[in-house]
A and B are shown apart, each in its own frame.
Chain A
Amino acid sequence: MIIDQIWMVFWTLIKIVAIVLPLIIVVAYLTYAERRVIGFMQGRMGPNRVGLFGFKLWGLAQPFADTFKLLLKEIIFPANANKFLFLLAPVITLATAFAAWAVIPFNDYLVLADINAGLVYILAMTSLGVYGVIIAGWASNSKYAILGALRSAAQIVSYEIAMGFALVGVLIASGSLNLTEIVHSQSGGIFSWFFIPLFPLFVIYFISGVAETNRAPFDVAEGESEIVAGFHVEYSGAAFALFFLGEYANMIMISALSAIMFLGGWYSPFTGDAWYAQSSIFWFLGKLSFFLLLYLWFRATFPRFRYDQIMRLGWKIFIPITIVWIMVVAVMKVYKPEWIGG
């Protein structure tokens, strides 16, 4: 009895490690991929020197070099900074970014916590991430940092509404808040995926996700040309690395969610019995990588938005469109249910 309980705790811990460790490695190599891809897009080389044992290996050891550099650097506290909150902020960012992964299903049975209200849980966790930014901005005792924090707070609160409405569309279409159920309701080839009937919501969800993770072209919270580096201007070493890790884990999560909710998760776009028509985790990872590539592509392509135009886009364009499309989806669901998933 007691042994069972203890074993269950251990088993859950093992499962958590099995999610978090690959995630950290993917984050490390996402930074490498980002620099290589943007380098390619802008006609530069990107990091291609750091290898192992004298081999260059296209710079594949660069993420490890960066990690060790960040971990070995000194953490500097600004004068009159609130030390406790200053150190708590990156932990909050990282913890909320990782906590949301608890309910992400990787395929039919690979999920840590298969809870009923999974979608609401993810919304709640991603909305908590903003505290890391706000507390960091305030605790740094720096004008640039607090400007970045205020910008970020306003931006995340605004885009959360559009994002939430896009999710409402998904859950009307699927009739469930459970992520595995949402994927199951999209079975049957590419034409059953939700991105066709919910196309405006799909586009708005991903763009809001980019804004929510403070990535280019919505990275005014960092805005190196205006406010140096925004909320993490005073951070160095391992504390800065935690912010970095949290931001990239959030990027991967937004990509995973887009794949789950609009591109049919682990389902194959083909139907039939062929090997490529089987649902598998590789389809899921492939779709996830596609969205990550979009993130990098945006960053290589678009100039940064001006702040008032970000607000205008969120409030005056995205929110009205999502509200209208929720109505459309509801009508479709009642009168033409075969158009949505079948």
Chain B
Amino acid sequence: MFEFIFSPEGYQVILFYVYSAILIGAALAVVTMRNSIYSALFLILAFFSAAALWMLLEAEFLALTLVLVYVGAVMVLFLFVIMMLDIKIKPKSGMSNYTKVGIFVAILMGLEMIMLLGRKLSHVLPQDDLVKHAKGHSNVKEVAENLYTQYVLPFELASVVLLVAIVAAILLTLRKRDDYNHVDPESQVHVKANKNRMRVVKMDAEVGNNIGGEE
């Protein structure tokens, strides 16, 4: 037992349980916190722990991409919006209103997962040994080979769907107002000071008629 804890495998198992506990705790905190800023921060922690679990699966590229995309970009915009909205801290969290529905959905999802993983996909699950790849194994290459050969069509399709979603989201929120003094930086940066703004006038020097001079 003592030997196992100090072996790399044991360390990996301990890390797995630690990160899983943090992940579940953070996910619970997301829905129980009264302050929505805290909820968002706990969601970040949940993403982070999930990334750490993927790292334990030796899927370092996916783990880092999870951090990069969800933590580094998506959650920044989430926080951005929450801070702009000026939400008051509620006396109690909104969870109790949704407890029944939430438990129902959770049980349903659990059953679905058990049905899928317990019967249909049971052969793809690792039995009880840890994921171990040979030294020099590149997760990036593996992902790339799968994405660009076997799954190239679904992958491209997904990216087109995302592109359509981006265009749609921008179109839905793009509102043009006529009544504000819009500044067009495009035209501003193209102004040349000596052509468009200043006019240099040639004229003879004014000869003073002895102002302030000696009589």
Segment from B18-26, B74-82, B108-116 that makes contact with A: B74-82
State whether A160 touches B83 (Cβ < 8 A): no
Q: Could you tell me how many residues of chain B have their Cβ less than 8 Å away from some Cβ of chain A?
A: 29
Minimum C-beta distance from A335 to chain B (A): 19
Segment from B64-72, B93-101, B121-129, B150-158 that makes contact with A: B64-72
Of the four ranges (under 10, 10 to 19, 20 to 34, 35 or more), the interface on chain A belongs to: 20 to 34
| Chain A CB within 8 A of B28 CB | no
Partner of B76, one of A121, A130, A146: A130
Q: Name the A residues within 8 Å of B16 (CB-CB).
A: none
State whether A309 touches B76 (Cβ < 8 A): no
Q: State in angstroms the CA–CA spacing of A327 and B186 once bound together.
A: 26
State whether A150 touches B72 (Cβ < 8 A): no
Partner of A120, one of B37, B61, B185: B61
Look across to chain A and name the residue whose beta carbon is closest to the beta carbon of B79.
Answer: A134
Minimum C-beta distance from A2 to chain B (A): 5
Partner of A160, one of B6, B65, B72, B140: B72
| Chain A CB within 8 A of B138 CB | yes
| CB within 8 Å for A309 and B189 given contacts A117-B64, A127-B68, A128-B67 | yes
State whether B60 touches A116 (Cβ < 8 A): yes
Q: Name the A residues within 8 Å of B37 (CB-CB).
A: 138
Q: Name the B residues within 8 Å of A137 (CB-CB).
A: 83
| Chain A CB within 8 A of B3 CB | yes
| Chain A CB within 8 A of B174 CB | no
Q: Name the A residues within 8 Å of B140 (CB-CB).
A: 116-117, 177
Main secondary structure of the interface of A (DSSP, over half): helix
Minimum C-beta distance from B132 to chain A (A): 16
State whether B64 touches A120 (Cβ < 8 A): yes
Q: Name the A residues within 8 Å of B3 (CB-CB).
A: 1
| Chain A CB within 8 A of B139 CB | yes
| Chain A CB within 8 A of B84 CB | yes
State whether B83 touches A138 (Cβ < 8 A): yes
State whether B73 touches A160 (Cβ < 8 A): yes
Q: Name the A residues within 8 Å of B7 (CB-CB).
A: 1
| CB within 8 Å for A157 and B76 given contacts A116-B138, A150-B84 | yes
Look across to chain A and name the residue whose beta carbon is closest to the beta carbon of B71.
Answer: A128
* Interface of A toward B, CB cutoff 8 Å: 1-2, 5, 85, 115-117, 120-121, 123-124, 127-128, 130-131, 134-135, 137-138, 146, 149-150, 153-154, 156-157, 160, 177, 306, 308-309, 312
Q: 30 A-B residue contacts at CB 8 Å? A: A5-B6, A115-B60, A117-B60, A117-B139, A120-B61, A121-B60, A123-B64, A124-B64, A127-B67, A127-B68, A130-B76, A131-B79, A134-B80, A138-B79, A146-B83, A149-B83, A150-B80, A150-B84, A153-B77, A153-B79, A157-B73, A160-B73, A177-B140, A308-B183, A308-B185, A309-B188, A309-B189, A312-B185, A312-B186, A312-B189
What 9 A-B pairs are tightest by C-beta distance, nearest first?
Answer: A127-B72, A124-B67, A120-B64, A124-B68, A124-B64, A117-B61, A2-B6, A312-B185, A117-B60
